[in-house]
Amino acid sequence: MEITLHAPLDMHLHLREGAMLQTVAPLSARDFAAAVVMPNLVPPVTSLERLLAYREAIVAAAQPHQFLPLMTLFFQDYDEASLRAARPHIIGVKLYPDGVTTNSAGGVSDLAAVEPTLALLERLAIPLLVHGESHGFVLDREAEFLPVYERWAQRFPQLTIVMEHITTAGALQLLQRYPNLAATVTLHHLLITLDDVAGGLLCPHLFCKPIAKRPEDREALLAAALAAQPRLMFGSDSAPHPVDRKEAAGCAAGVFTAPVILPLLVDLFARHHALERLQAFVSDNARAVYGFTPPAKPVTLRQEAWQVPARYGTVVPFYANQTLAWRVEVPRV
Ligand code: NCD
Ligand code: ZN
């Protein structure tokens, strides 16, 4: 059996720089037509010059695959001139509250103070992508941020606000209430709960921000994804860290899913008899939210078992050493 997806899109991806970029970029570039690339490098991507150089490095690392990096700027109080100059080169601006996740130092510390810049983004029709977590108790951080999303959705009705990597049923309910809200959901938050991370032996490779939540949250996210709920987009949040930063006291947050995303999504949708809605979830919903047409790129998966490697370079992937039922057909390039 075979399934072909048309221009699958990963709407939230970490590619890093240097040797890590060389390892991970071809994996996403083989399977996806385009991806929204996160700007949380060290230092973050805050200038057009750095953004264009990073884009060039990604395109080079993605060779020989056809792959469109959709670039983001790290949120700051940019002036109108710099946003106008950046606009043709970006898909959005990514806002991180200061210190909530990997490489988010220098993010926003006063959420009220950003509103003039949000007004500017709204006027320039530049989407705002948000890591929506408070600094509260780890399981409540997303829930505590929802009123912020709601305030912005009301105050900036023409601004597209993307709630990145949502993990709770509450976020899904908010999504339904405001047409200017959109959201991404990861593969791992459709599959795991906090029990998989810390319910038995501690599993550092499943530790990420936002932390995986309760079974009822996962059920709600899965139901929404399988239904290809409008404005809910696939965004992997694939976030590679070297094994010595994961298997460590002080484990870095991030799950590296890039090489197994499409096989696991096809398997998940097939098991729930929802394969006909996978195209909308991995591509069409994002096209509608962002109003863009990706380059044509058919990606075919075949029902054929393969074993996920233990490592890609220095990184341990999601489902390492496990056997998957679907394989991406390697394109002739
Ligand atoms: C991401 C990373 O490693 O850059 N980590 C994560 O746990 N998801 C950052 C992020 O998206 O929060
Ligand atoms: Zn991320």
Mean pLDDT of the chain: 97
Letter string b/e over residues 45-83, b meaning 16 or more CB atoms within 10 A of that residue's CB: bbbbebbeebbebbeebbeebebbbbbbbbbbebeeeeb
Model confidence at 123: pLDDT above 80:
yes
pLDDT in tens, 269-307: 999 999 999 999 999 999 999 999 999 999 999 999 999
Q: Output DSSP code: residue 74.
A: E
Closest CA to 314 of 245, 211, 266: 245
CA distance 31 to 328: 7
Reported pTM = 0.98
Q: Is the peptide bond before 179 cis (omega within 30 degrees of 0)?
A: no
Show the beta-strand stretches assigned E in the chain: 2-6, 9-13, 34-37, 68-74, 92-95, 128-130, 161-163, 181-185, 232-234, 298-307, 323-328
Within 8 A by CB and 6+ apart from 221, the residues are 166, 167, 169, 172, 185, 189, 190
**Rg, C-alpha atoms of the chain:** 18
CA 275 vs. chain centroid, Å, equals 21
CB count within 10 Å of CB 308 equals 18
> Which ligand sits closest to the CA of 188?
1
Examine the pLDDT at 208 and tell me if it is beyond 80. Answer: yes
Ligand closest to the CA atom of residue 36: 2
**What number does the ligand 1 atom closest to the CA of 254 have?**
7
Tell me the per-residue pLDDT of 239-275, one tens digit each, with 9 for 90 and over.
999 999 999 999 999 999 999 999 999 999 999 999 9
Percent of the chain with pLDDT over 90: 98
Environment class of 242 (CB within 10 Å of its CB; exposed 0-12, middle 13-18, buried 19+): middle
CA gap 87, 73 in Å, rounded: 10
Using the structure block, give the residue that is written with the tokens 């959201």.
183
- Whether the bond between 64 and the residue before it is cis, its omega within 30 degrees of 0, is yes
Would you mind telling me the total number of residues written for the chain in this entry? 333
Q: Which of the following is catalytic: 10, 31, 237, 284?
A: 237
Distance, in Å, from the CA atom of 299 to the CA atom of 282, rounded to the nearest integer, reads: 12
Ligand 2 centroid to Cα of residue 164, in Å, is: 8
* Range 2-328 classified under CATH 3.10.620.30: no
What band does 333 get if pLDDT is binned at 50, 70 and 90?
Answer: low
Query: Given the structure tokens 């409540």, which residue do they identify?
Result: 140
CA–CA distance, 243 with 224 (Å, rounded to integer): 33
Pocket test for ligand 1, best of 36, 101, 245 (most atoms within 8 A of CB): 101
Q: Cα–Cα distance between 31 and 299 in angstroms, integer?
A: 7
Please give the average per-residue pLDDT across 180-188, as a whole number.
Answer: 99
Q: How many CB atoms lie within 10 A of CB 37?
A: 25
> What's the pLDDT at 331?
64
Q: Where are the domains of the chain?
A: 2-328
- Answer yes or no: is pLDDT of 332 > 70: no
Instruction: Give the ligand 1 atom nearest the CA of 12.
Output: 11
For the four alpha carbons of 206, 207, 211 and 214, in that order, the dihedral sign comes to positive
**Nearest by Cα to 35 from 263, 261, 302, 202:** 261
Check pocket membership of 209 for ligand 1, CB cut-off 6 A: yes
State yes or no: 189 annotated in a binding site: no
Q: Average pLDDT for residues 160-186, to the nearest whole number?
A: 98
Is 237 catalytic? The answer is yes
Residue with the nearest Cα to atom 9 of ligand 1?
Answer: 102
- pLDDT value of position 330: 81
Q: What is the pLDDT of residues 92-122, one digit of tens each?
A: 999 999 999 989 999 999 999 999 999 999 9
**How many C-alpha atoms does 240 have within 13 Å on its Cβ side?**
25
pLDDT of 207 over the 60 cut: yes
